[in-house]
Amino acid sequence: MIEVKIGKNDSNQRFDRFLRKYFKNASLSVIQKNIRKKNFKINDKRAKKDDLICEGDLVKMYIKDEDYNKWVNTRKFKDCDFNIDIVYEDDNIVVIDKKKGVLSHAASPKDYGNNIVDQMTSYLYKTNKVDSRDLTFKPSIVNRLDRNTAGLIIGAKNARALRELNKAIKNSQIHKYYLTIVEGKVDKDFTIDTNIIKNENKNIVKSNEDGKRIITKFHPLDINDKYSLLECKLITGRTHQIRYSLFKNDTPIIGDRKYFKSGIDYRKYGLDSQVLLAYKLSFNTKGFLSYLNNKEIKSNQTKDLLKLKEKVFNESYTR
């Protein structure tokens, strides 16, 4: 007999869902069979698949050691060096200011350690802010940025925070703002509302009536006759949403060679990718994360983008 005490990351969920995560290497049919055979008890009572488990519950498993070892989630933590700029952290979330050129998560095994997810996980485990021995939960991010888009990424430190953050994003209760510099004079607010599909081979998006809807609001902060500094507010969140929307508006982002070959001198300004920064987050959540309401979290990289804006604007004035 094996005993497992339910922690906070596994509380408030159905027993069969817990078992599917705990016994990662067991099939659903094997799990259901053992539930039917009464091989599990919760607080000394026969466990049913739809029982709700709570923190502190004691689960007794009447199974062979060899089966347990074969079925249990054997995920092991492989640490890595971390170099992350944390702009906000509490018991539930961590907000990281990603640098341009860094992946949000690994795209292949060779990317291990060179992405925000791995570095965040290593930081949280090595500083004992999250228990690396937890078999059913691993810290996760809830928003992603393109490799060459810098700025704020939100990480969840426990399962409840992860669920609530995902729900808040789905319900538009977390507001994400970006800064960018575009070619063209934008002297009033505008919104791009269209449908797009993604070309996976070329990693670009294009308009398509049958595609996914994107909505982005744009507000000019500073302009001259040739360039504009814009604040962009995401209403939806899709791949290349801001980049494509501004290209479609004939006000492309400087440095964004994927959608537009800019006339700007790339070498002069040290540009090798789109000038786009996820610079601000604000919250309007309910319940568990409502303590974050009316809080604004900002990127430390904002000043660098504004310095670039001054250089670009001043150059255009002197021509």
Paired residues of 72 in beta bridges:
none
Strands 93-98 and 86-89 turn out to be antiparallel
Please compute Rg for the chain using Cα positions. 24
**CA 34 to chain CA mean position, Å:** 36
Positive or negative torsion for Cα 106, 112, 114, 117: positive
- H helix intervals, 37-141: 65-71, 116-126
CA angle 93, 160, 30 (to 5 degrees): 130
CA distance 179 to 280: 9
What are the backbone dihedrals phi and psi of residue 190, each rounded to the nearest 5 degrees, phi first?
Answer: -155, 165
Task: Indicate if 146 belongs to the active site.
Answer: yes
Q: Which of 146, 189, 193, 250 is catalytic?
A: 146
- Contacts of residue 42, defined as CB under 8 A and 6 or more positions apart, other chains included, come to 15, 51, 53, 57, 58, 59, 60
Nearest residue to 259 via CA among 268, 269, 188, 249: 249
C-alpha distances out from residue 101 to 78, 151, 244, Å: 23, 11, 20
Sheet holding 2-5, edge to edge: 2-5, 58-61, 40-42, 45-46
Nearest residue to 176 via CA among 102, 283, 93, 288: 283
Residues taking part in catalysis? 146
